[in-house]
Structure 1
């Protein structure tokens, strides 16, 4: 008896299949700067390098080898549901396949095997460098996802000539890699020259609290409209972690931009007394960081209303931005998610329950 042929997928199903399969692939590569030219590369296999200090900061929020992280898998509910946080192995969500074992150990030994000194320019530089490497590797991975998914869709006849969204997504991913490649290159040269003081950082302390979360993120804060850097996009590396019974936020600027950030990104945090910084600090994390990790015991202690406020604010900010750049989310799903925000959450920016650090009644 003849076997039945495979069911032919319609174009939209084929698109989603291609995007899902591409997004499951890993792209290990050691990004260590072998020389000043940038032409050579390390041939050694990449490992899962930690983006957060494993033996110190990460150990303070890991419970039973797990942390909480936002689930970014695409959903097809109508209206969309708020994103869940799921227990995840810490070696999954806080690592990136961007360095070989020897280079990871050698490069970050000073901030991995001893306490992080926030008065040490080299320590602040290494925190920033690791964040840039992580972001660049994620951009490389996204570029390959979109290119492979687009090629499979085109080969299967799922790309209509009038469908510019998939092509634009692929092109945007390629441009993003180019921009981050330039920024990584500048950091490479500063590292090789030991020119650590060129990275300018602002340290913001939060109130006393039990360990609750850790963040390593890199994002744009826009471009100045006046001055010598007019029109030049400015980026910020943000690291948040427990330190001495409190949480500390380290904002670093690889290519200038401290003055601009003080008047925009950091304005509210800097004018507030430390006791009142947790809510705006939480909003800043949820708006700009797609993969913060949380101590399970801390998050579980929050009420359902506080959890909904956190999930709702994340949904309408960082998650929607993630959906706009991910090959897992096709044009139809992105549109559905954007339209469904108002149905899924009514959380306001000033809601005091948007607090990632402690229980709020």
Structure 2
């Protein structure tokens, strides 16, 4: 799907930066298309087997098995990311303890490692409950899909991301599996979620289920507020004013820290 977005084999993605003086920051910049929306948590054989319908067939929103593969990929990508981040912070803590900069169990890195370890465990439980167990039992997956299609829409972005909207009483994540698929003359957003969590999700994000509202605005704001893994067309991004580029990056960075919603009057559309 990135064929429709790329320019000279590059696309635009959020890129993390770190300055020792000013701390972490985010920018939107070019990356090779083969490195965008890439999930490397599986060997090529199993990746091909698990996502064959999503990767080799045109999008068919009546094909429940294909929709399930798109949804499953978002969970696998988020789980793999959290495991990687946790390992990175565990190593950082070990290095700091060895160098005598922090005491065992007291540094910020070990706190972040613990956060990602817990997040990984919650995602594993989510995957097991909604995918692995029913698949092994030969049962239908307990998930539903909301399909939003924008006809006559130029391909501007792609998304494959799982994001949380809260927690159940036992701490398990309440989440949305979001896939945004660009095609030549339309863009389709697939919001997948556990059937058991539908009420909680529609309550937490009613704007995504309001067909009378501005769904392009609702999706754009949701992506910038809650999603890390998205890809933009360079041609589309280059058409933004310098002011929009600045404000989008400023908000994206701020939302990563605070999670707050963007201003209602913000011109943050990710659609043409």
Would the TM-score normalized by the shorter structure come out above 0.5?
Answer: yes
The one of 110, 134, 139 equivalent to 1:195 is 139
**Matched-pair contact (CA < 8 Å) for 2:159–2:178:** yes
Unaligned runs of 5+ in 1: 1-56, 323-346
Equivalent in the alignment of 1:169: 112
Residues 83 and 145 of structure 1: CA distance in aligned 2, closer, same or farther (over 3 Å): closer
1:285: Cα distance to partner? 0.3
Q: Structure 2 regions of 5+ residues with no counterpart?
A: none
1:169-191 Cα deviation digits (max 9, x unpaired): 22222212221222233322333
Aligned residues: 271
Normalized per residue, which structure has more strand?
Answer: 2
Q: Is structure 2 residue 156 aligned with structure 1 residue 233? A: no
1:194 and 1:86, CA in 2 relative to 1: closer, same or farther beyond 3 A? Answer: farther
1:71 corresponds in structure 2 to: 15
Q: Confirm or deny that 1:96 pairs with 2:33.
A: no
CA-to-aligned-CA distance 1:231-277 (integer Å, 9 cap, x gap):
65311111112246222221111463112222221x12333537x32
Deviations 1:69-105 (A, max 9, x none): 1121223565x79732111012223212211111111
Matched residue, 1:308: 246
TM-score when normalising by structure 1: 0.68
How far apart in 2 are the matches of 1:114 and 1:183?
27
4+ residue segments displaced more than 6 Å: none
Distance 1:89 1:271, change over 3 A: same
Q: Displacement, 1:286?
A: 0.5
Normalising by structure 2, we get a TM-score of 0.88
Match of 1:264 among 180, 190, 204: 204
Q: Is the 8 A contact 1:67 1:88 kept in 2?
A: yes
d(CA) in 1 for partners of 2:266, 2:109: 39
Matches for 1:135-214 after TM superposition, within 5 Å: 135-160=78-103, 163-186=106-129, 187-206=131-150, 208-214=152-158
1:251 aligns with 2:191: yes
Cα displacement string for residues 211-230 of structure 1 (whole angstroms, at most 9, x for unaligned residues): 00001111111136xxxx78
Is the CA contact (8 Å cut-off) linking 1:234 and 1:255 kept in structure 2? Answer: no
How many Å apart are 1:162 and its aligned residue? 8.8
Change (3 A) 1:126 1:218: same
Q: Would you say the 8 A contact 1:206–1:277 is kept in 2?
A: no
Q: How far 1:321 moved relative to its partner? A: 6.4
Q: 1:310 to 1:146 in 2, by over 3 A?
A: same
Choose which of 102, 105, 109 in structure 1 pairs with 2:48: 105
d(CA) in 2 for partners of 1:308, 1:351 = 16
> Cα RMSD (Å) of the superposition?
2.7
What are the equivalent positions in structure 2 for 1:4-43 lying under 5 Å apart?
A: none
Distance 1:178 1:94 in 2: 23
More displaced 10-residue stretch of structure 1: 128-137 or 199-208 = 199-208
Structure possessing the higher radius of gyration over alpha carbons: 1
